[in-house]
């Protein structure tokens, strides 16, 4: 029996996407949404019970006690599958980080003239973490030394893994005691693949211990290097004003959508699109100008640094093309659906692959080379302009929202403490006093099997009402941006009284956009700083905070979740558990990991459950720290809000409020 197709409203919460899903349906164009409807997930694989690491299988273990042909138990199989997800996710983030380090090296050595160091302070800071002497070195010499030292971390033969010293001392001790300190980034990924090859590590707990080690090399290694070097090359983000959702595409301009992850190429395309010569070229093709928009984490990188509007998140990549207004979609690495090529066949849109690591059959490959970056970027923009005259009818949903992103940890420190006393102290104080009940990191993907953006909307709305500060990255951040939660005004409308006061005082949104998925390392940095600032214990596991990815789908999300747990965080994943079929492995990543590292990983597909478990955890951590019980009625009587209430009082009451009763 054919599965019932969801209506657009059932498939997405986002109005722009609903509009385009209807169009896809009318024009019989396939998308990830319709493919998810017409094909059920394999229930054995989904639950972690299928082993395909050798050709005697795949062995589908459906009963308790059943083993694979080699004798591998369900526990081994599920742990192995999970661990391989961590390895793949970690490899993706780390290879991205390595790419950035090579770009810095090329720039420093003068081979990539279109790049230079934009944030010297950050370069010097990272040099210290990597034991590179700053001295009076010329910038490029320092940049070269930092790039080489960063590259060294990927495969060094001996010595300490340097970035780990950025974690709280107590956390480092825990890692040392458990012997899960990564020796270098690559080795743990390779060893994870080795251990999970047929006939190797066959003890679920032991396999999962190494998954923790491997993931630490992602969060505190590859991802952190990715973030740091992007900041060095392109600037550390600070707030900018922009817009989010497909309504940012322009009817009468050449629209170029950048999609993927690494900022090295997209930064160049953005610059090329501002070149007067190319704008004139666009005009010569009948367009009024060139508009840029972003999809997925490239969108977040370009938004945070350049204010380039967000076109949408993961599930909107095909929908963007359905508008008929995208002249070129330029992709590099990760989260690029092969389906975009097929959708593009119906339109003038050219799909341009650019990474030497990624080709897609049917797409136009214009390989990117840092040494000729701007030249290639200009060719790409020109090709997009050439497509403009071939446009047919367009269908751009009139939906977009204001967003103020750019909350790097450096900016948060500055916003809270000013130039001379930049600090997270006010944040810790606000949590200690109960103005802010706790912090939630709401991150991760979209998933075509769950209603697009819906879980994000539901959990964030509840957290704000409950005075929980929300920090976000990835496609989750794009969801909240589209929902209008990322402006300071959103605090007045949606935040509970205590959180609202804090946001009003600082002038910040109640949901902070902290960047792309590699920028989850910024969240680690904030948590580490909160733990060392004082008042909230002395380790990440003490902080009233929860991490979550309510609509996760990628292996990267599992790696992120694992390094957050390894860092001491309670993590709740939405959708479904990749080890749900195996009780013992579920126990190992929940209670088992909690005993070892203080964090645990749970899965639930119910957003209300995510909220209630999170609030319970936050309150439990508050109690353990001896902080006052959260009381929403205690706050909300200061700042603009109070003035506003005063203004609205009838005259007589105003006098009484100001001067007291005449009696």
List interacting residues with ligand NFS (CB under 6 A): 296-297, 314, 335, 444-445, 474-475, 516-517, 554, 556-557
Distance CA 408, CA 416 (A): 12
Least Å from the CB of residue 516 to ligand NFS? 6
Q: How near is the Cβ of 554 to ligand NFS at its closest, in Å?
A: 4
Q: Please report how many Cα atoms fall inside a 13 Å half-sphere around the Cα of residue 164, on the Cβ side.
A: 26
- Min dist CB 63 to ligand NFS, Å, is 34
Q: Give residue 134's region: left, alpha or beta (phi > 0; psi -120 to 50).
A: alpha
Question: Closer to ligand NFS at the Cβ: 282 or 315?
Answer: 315
CB of 443 to ligand NFS, least distance (A): 7
SS3 at position 553: coil
Rank residues 314 and 411 by Cβ distance to ligand NFS and give the closer one.
314
Q: Tokens representing 332? A: 């590099």
Rounded CA-CA distance 321/335 in Å is 16
| Shortest distance, position 10 Cβ to ligand NFS, whole Å | 21
**Residue 335 or 582 having the CB closest to ligand NFS:** 335
| Nearer residue to ligand NFS within complex by CB, 317 or 428 | 317
Determine contact, residues 292/326, Cβ cutoff 8 Å: no
Minimum CB distance to ligand NFS smaller for 334 or for 487? 334
Asked if 506 and 644 touch (Cβ cutoff 8 Å), the reply is: no
User: In what side-by-side order are the strands of the sheet with 511-513?
Assistant: 511-513, 468-472, 438-442, 545-549, 570-573, 600-603
CB count within 10 Å of CB 210 equals 22
Residues 6+ apart with CB under 8 A from 290: 253, 254, 255, 256, 273, 274, 278, 279, 282, 381, 384, 385
Element (H, E) at 207: helix 204-217
Crossing angle of helices 555-566 and 520-533, rounded to 10°: 10
Beta strand ranges found along 465-530 (DSSP E): 468-472, 511-513
Q: Is the CB of 76 or the CB of 446 nearer to ligand NFS?
A: 446
Contact 237, 227 (CB under 8 A): no
Instruction: Name the minimum Å distance from CB 203 to ligand NFS.
Output: 30
* Count of residues in the chain: 663
Q: How far is the CB of 172 from ligand NFS (least distance, A)?
A: 26
Q: Would you say 408 or 554 has its CB closer to ligand NFS?
A: 554
Toward ligand NFS, which CB reaches closer, 336 or 530? 336
Whichever of 104 and 518 has its CB closer to ligand NFS, that residue is 518
508 vs 549, beta carbon nearer ligand NFS: 549
Q: Is 280 exposed, middle or buried (0-12, 13-18, 19+ CB in 10 A)?
A: exposed
| Helix, strand, coil percent content, the chain, rounded in steps of 5 | 55, 10, 35
Q: Give the nearest distance from C-beta 446 to ligand NFS in angstroms.
A: 6
- Shortest CB 262 distance to ligand NFS, Å: 11
Which residues, at least 6 apart from 369, have a Cβ–Cβ distance to it below 8 Å?
376
The least distance separating ligand NFS from the CB of residue 370, rounded to whole angstroms, comes to: 21
Residue with Cβ nearer ligand NFS (261 or 600): 261
Backbone angles phi, psi at 85, to 5 degrees: -65, -45
Whether the ω angle into residue 629 lies within 30 degrees of 0, i.e. cis, is: no
**Residue 533 Cβ vs ligand NFS, minimum distance, rounded to whole Å:** 28
């Amino acid at each position: 029996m054919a599965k019932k197709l969801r209506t657009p409203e059932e498939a997405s919460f986002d109005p722009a996407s609903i509009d385009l899903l209807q169009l896809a349906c009318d024009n019989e164009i396939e998308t990830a949404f319709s493919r998810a409807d017409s094909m059920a997930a394999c229930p054995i694989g989904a639950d972690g019970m299928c082993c395909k690491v050798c050709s005697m299988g795949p062995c589908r273990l459906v009963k308790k006690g059943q083993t694979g042909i080699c004798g591998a138990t369900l526990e081994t199989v599920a742990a192995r599958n999970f661990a391989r997800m961590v390895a793949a996710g970690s490899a993706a983030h780390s290879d991205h980080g390595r790419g950035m380090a090579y770009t810095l090296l090329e720039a420093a050595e003068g081979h990539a003239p279109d790049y230079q160091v934009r944030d010297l302070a950050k370069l010097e800071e990272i040099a210290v973490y990597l034991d590179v002497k700053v001295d009076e070195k010329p910038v490029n010499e320092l940049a070269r030394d930092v790039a080489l030292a960063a590259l060294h971390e990927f495969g060094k033969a001996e010595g300490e893994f340097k970035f780990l010293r950025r974690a709280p001392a107590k956390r480092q001790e825990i890692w040392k005691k458990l012997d899960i300190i990564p020796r270098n980034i690559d080795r743990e990924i390779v060893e994870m693949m080795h251990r999970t090859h047929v006939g190797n590590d066959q003890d679920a707990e032991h396999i999962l211990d190494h998954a923790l080690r491997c993931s630490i090399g992602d969060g505190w290694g590859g991802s952190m290097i990715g973030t740091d070097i992007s900041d060095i090359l392109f600037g550390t983000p600070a707030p900018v004003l922009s817009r989010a959702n497909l309504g940012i595409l322009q009817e009468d301009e050449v629209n170029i959508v950048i999609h993927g992850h690494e900022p090295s190429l997209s930064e160049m395309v953005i610059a090329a699109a501002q070149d007067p010569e190319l704008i004139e070229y666009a005009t010569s093709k009948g367009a009024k100008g060139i508009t840029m928009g972003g999809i997925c984490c490239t969108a977040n990188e370009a938004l945070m640094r350049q204010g380039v509007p967000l076109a949408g998140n993961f599930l909107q990549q095909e929908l963007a093309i359905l508008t008929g207004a995208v002249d070129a979609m330029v992709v590099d690495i990760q989260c690029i659906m092969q389906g975009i090529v097929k959708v593009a066949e119906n339109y003038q849109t050219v799909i341009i692959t650019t990474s030497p690591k990624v080709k897609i059959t049917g797409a136009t490959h214009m390989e990117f080379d840092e040494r000729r970056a701007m030249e290639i970027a200009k060719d790409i923009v020109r090709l997009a302009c050439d497509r403009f005259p071939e446009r047919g009818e367009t269908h751009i949903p009139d939906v977009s929202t204001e967003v103020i992103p750019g909350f790097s940890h450096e900016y948060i420190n500055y916003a809270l403490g000013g130039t001379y006393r930049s600090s997270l102290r006010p944040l810790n104080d606000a949590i200690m006093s109960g103005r802010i009940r706790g912090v939630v990191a709401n991150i991760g993907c979209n998933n075509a099997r769950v209603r697009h953006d819906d879980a994000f909307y539901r959990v964030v709305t509840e957290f704000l009402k409950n005075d929980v500060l929300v920090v976000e990255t990835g496609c989750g951040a794009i969801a909240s941006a589209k929902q209008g939660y990322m402006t300071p005004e959103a605090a007045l409308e949606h935040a509970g009284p205590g959180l609202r006061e804090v946001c009003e005082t600082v002038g910040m949104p109640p949901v902070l956009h902290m960047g792309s998925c590699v920028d989850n390392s910024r969240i680690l940095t904030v948590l580490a700083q909160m733990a060392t600032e004082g008042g909230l214990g002395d380790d990440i596991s003490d902080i009233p905070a929860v991490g979550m990815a309510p609509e996760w789908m990628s292996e990267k999300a599992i790696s992120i979740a694992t390094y957050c747990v390894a860092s001491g965080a309670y993590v709740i994943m939405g959708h479904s558990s990749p080890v749900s079929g195996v009780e013992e492995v579920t126990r190992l990543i929940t209670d088992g990991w909690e005993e070892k590292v203080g964090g645990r990983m749970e899965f639930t597909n119910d957003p209300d459950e995510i909220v209630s478990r999170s609030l319970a955890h936050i309150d439990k951590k508050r109690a353990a720290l001896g902080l006052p019980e959260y009381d929403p009625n205690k706050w909300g009587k200061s700042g603009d809000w109070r003035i506003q209430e005063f203004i609205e009082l009838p005259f007589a009451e105003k006098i009484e409020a100001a001067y007291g009763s005449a009696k």
